[in-house]
Amino acid sequence: MLCPISGKNLAFGDSIADYVGVPRSEPSVDRELVSLLSESTGLSAGEAARVTSEVLAWYREPVEVYVRRQHAHYQMYGKKNDEIFRLIAAELAGRLVAAPELSERQLRRIVYG
């Protein structure tokens, strides 16, 4: 467990779910993956569990949430919708777990309802 103020490790429980960054409500993190990550990077088991949990959460993000987040991001940097929707469609196709192919119209409906 990390001290929330200093970030120092205080103790670790027996369960992978007891590691910091892996909330009890989060689906269990693969112990073998955490062990491999810990051994190959020199991270502690708790740090490896947190990294694993964060990566899995990234890929569990629903398509609609991803599209809205990316749309807002690109708008903030001054991009126009035509370019934004092309970029988002390409990103979705290139993700590790690719989303279904969505037309520009479908992407607009996700963003604007």
Q: Is the same domain home to 70 and 54?
A: no
Instruction: Identify whether residues 53 and 83 lie together within a single domain.
Output: no
Q: Are residues 68 and 55 in the same domain?
A: no
4 — pLDDT class (breaks 50, 70, 90)? very low
Total Cβ atoms within 10 A of residue 92: 18
Cα separation, 66 vs 17, whole angstroms: 26
Whether 3 is in a domain gets the answer: no
Nearest-10 Cα torsion for 48, 51, 56, 61: 170
Q: Which positions ≥6 away from 55 have C-beta within 8 Å?
A: none
Q: Which two tokens stand for residue 78?
A: 């001054």
Task: Single out the residue of 113, 69, 112 nearest to residue 87, CA to CA.
Answer: 69
Q: Is 105 among the domain residues? A: yes
Number of domains in the chain: 2
Report, as an integer, the average pLDDT of 42-58: 91
The pLDDT value given to residue 16: 41
Model confidence at 28, pLDDT cuts 50, 70, 90, reads low
Domain-embedded: residue 4 = no
Per-residue pLDDT for 87 more than 60? Answer: yes
Question: Over the chain, what is the mean pLDDT?
Answer: 79
Does 56 share its domain with 69?
Answer: no
Asked if the model's pLDDT at residue 45 lies above 80, the reply is: yes
Identify whether the C-beta of residue 12 lies closer than 8 Å to the C-beta of residue 19. yes
- pLDDT bracket for residue 59 (50, 70, 90): confident
Say what the pLDDT of residue 91 is. 92
Whether residue 11 is contained in a domain is answered as no
What confidence score (pLDDT) does residue 66 get? 93
Q: Write out the residue range of the structural domain in which residue 81 sits.
A: 63-112
Residue 48 sits in the same domain as residue 28: yes
Residue 103 within any structural domain of the chain: yes
Q: How far from 24 is each of 16, 18, 52, 101, CA to CA, in Å? A: 9, 7, 14, 34
Query: What's the predicted TM-score (pTM) here?
Result: 0.57
8 occurs within a structural domain: no
